[in-house]
């Protein structure tokens, strides 16, 4: 059954499945949300927890003007057993701006992971919320390529769960900041450049599937772009406009990536890897329990994917990240993006792959009703 509840003056829903209740999280759920994020690390060679300290809601406006968490609790004990995050932001779909839903931060306490009802209740709650927001009838999500259990379960088309349509691989590249000589044509932006930066982003992103729509007012909004200043943008000018841009976005005050441990040979070889890292231009691997000191290279747009412009901007961004004392710079590109090859060939990055999926609640939807297969792009800094 389900029943309406009030949430900060906004209509939400509470869904009850057996001994579990799902609801839109409020600020009094904050401690449990942060614990679920902190205690449920990703699997793989490096176990990571994507945390939101000291306030899980602090990043909400940065993620999207339409954002929320769904939290699942045991009805009897009130124990928090799972959560997920939903957001909806204006993005280019088939070349036109639309409100696109995104699902992330799915976390389930270990002793509840075998219960499909946790997923069914969570998806039912999210579906109601996204319908209320009038977003696309499907949502975008990303699953770590190494998370084979989740890929099998969510791709099994089980009754009561939405259909997961696989799209393609998307890569997060971890680059090591380094001092380098800078191209004279790369400049630091100012507030007066924000309209031209927005035009540059729209020109590049309109051809990409799911790329965010950034308007000048968004780039200057202290909520939408928290801790991102106009001078954090690096630009290349051509004539009166801007041909390429990238931003250095430090989000460590409200979003963190914590190292929870290493698997296999990395557990004993981490220090040896770190000794060789400067020679190999590889990122440093912190000890377990420490947070990565990283910065996002966001708002990346390169006119006609020009390799010279791209390398000049990346070199300038890595030099600036080094000057600011960051250990890693993160940039996201589709695995088959032509500039991803440039990163692999010239920067020796660590590459972490996720698989993009569309989450579709309509079992009868025709393939023609889904977005076309053009190259996707998502902004990892707002996911």
Whether 367 shows a pLDDT value over 60: the answer reads no
27-40 core/surface letters (b: 16 or more CB in 10 A; e: else): eebbebbbbbbbeb
147: enclosing H helix or E strand: none
**Strands 80-93 and 96-108, bridge-based pairing:** antiparallel
Whether 12 has a pLDDT exceeding 80, the answer reads: no
Which band of pLDDT confidence, cut at 50, 70 and 90, is reported for residue 209?
very high
Of 61-65, 118-122, 220-224, give the lowest mean pLDDT range.
61-65
CATH code 3.40.50.2300 for 2-169+357-368? no
Pairwise CA distance, residues 148 & 330, whole Å: 24
Model confidence pLDDT, tens digit, residues 213-269: 999 999 999 989 999 999 999 999 988 899 999 999 999 999 998 998 888 788 888
Q: Compute the residue count for the chain.
A: 383
Is the predicted pLDDT of residue 349 greater than 80, yes or no? yes
9: confidence class by pLDDT, cuts 50, 70, 90: very low
The per-residue pLDDT for 248 is: 98
- CATH 3.40.630.30 region(s) of the chain? 2-169+357-368, 174-256+279-353
Helical axes 338-347 vs 307-323, angle rounded to 10°: 50
In angstroms and rounded to an integer, the radius of gyration of the C-alpha atoms of the chain is: 21
- For residue 65 the two structure tokens come to 């003007």
Least Cα distance to 132 among 7, 273, 318 occurs for 7
- Of the candidate ranges 157-161, 277-281, 305-309, 332-336, the one whose mean pLDDT is the lowest: 277-281
Q: Is the pLDDT of residue 324 over 60?
A: yes
pLDDT of 179 > 80? The answer is yes
Residues 103, 139: Cα–Cα separation, whole Å: 7
Class of the CATH domain delimited by 174-256+279-353? alpha beta
Alpha-carbon distance 244 to 313, whole Å? 8
Q: Pick from 247, 246, 243, 249: which is nearest to 200 by CA? A: 243
Residues 209, 169, 159, 112, CA torsion sign: negative
CA 135 to chain centre: 18
Report for 127-131, 197-201, 372-376: range of highest mean pLDDT: 197-201
C-beta neighbour count of 339 within 10 angstroms: 18
């Amino acid at each position: 059954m389900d029943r309406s509840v009030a949430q900060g003056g906004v209509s939400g829903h509470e869904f009850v499945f057996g001994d579990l209740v799902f609801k839109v999280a409020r600020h009094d759920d904050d401690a449990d949300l942060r614990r679920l994020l902190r205690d449920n690390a990703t699997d793989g060679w490096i176990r990571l927890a994507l945390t939101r300290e000291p306030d899980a809601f602090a990043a909400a406006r940065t993620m999207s003007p339409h954002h929320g968490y769904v939290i699942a609790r045991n009805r009897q004990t009130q124990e928090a057993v799972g959560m997920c995050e939903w957001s909806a932001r204006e993005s280019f779909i088939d070349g036109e701006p639309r409100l696109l839903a995104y699902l992330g931060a799915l976390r389930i306490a270990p002793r509840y992971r075998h219960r499909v009802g946790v997923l069914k209740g969570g998806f039912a709650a999210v579906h109601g919320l996204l319908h209320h927001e009038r977003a696309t009838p499907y949502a975008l999500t990303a699953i770590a390529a190494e998370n084979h259990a989740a890929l099998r379960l969510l791709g099994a088309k089980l009754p009561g769960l939405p259909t997961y349509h696989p799209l393609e691989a998307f890569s997060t590249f971890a680059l090591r900041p380094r001092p380098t000589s800078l191209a004279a044509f790369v400049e630091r932006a100012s507030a007066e450049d924000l309209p031209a930066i927005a035009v540059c982003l729209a020109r590049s992103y309109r051809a990409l599937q799911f790329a965010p729509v950034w308007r000048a007012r968004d780039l200057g909004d202290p909520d939408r772009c928290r801790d991102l200043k106009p001078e954090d943008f690096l630009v290349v000018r051509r004539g009166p406009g801007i041909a390429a841009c990238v931003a250095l976005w430090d989000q460590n005050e409200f979003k963190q990536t914590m190292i929870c441990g290493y698997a296999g040979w990395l557990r004993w070889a981490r220090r040896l890897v770190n000794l060789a890292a400067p020679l190999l231009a590889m990122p440093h691997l912190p000890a377990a329990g420490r947070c990565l000191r990283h910065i996002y290279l966001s708002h990346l747009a390169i006119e006609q994917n020009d390799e010279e412009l791209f390398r000049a901007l990346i070199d300038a961004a890595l030099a600036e990240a080094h000057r600011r004392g960051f250990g890693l710079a993160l940039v996201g590109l589709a695995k088959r993006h032509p500039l991803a090859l440039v990163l692999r060939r010239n920067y020796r990055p660590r590459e972490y792959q996720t698989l993009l999926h569309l989450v579709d609640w309509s079992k009868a939807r025709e393939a023609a009703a889904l977005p076309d297969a053009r190259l996707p792009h998502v902004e990892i800094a707002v996911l």
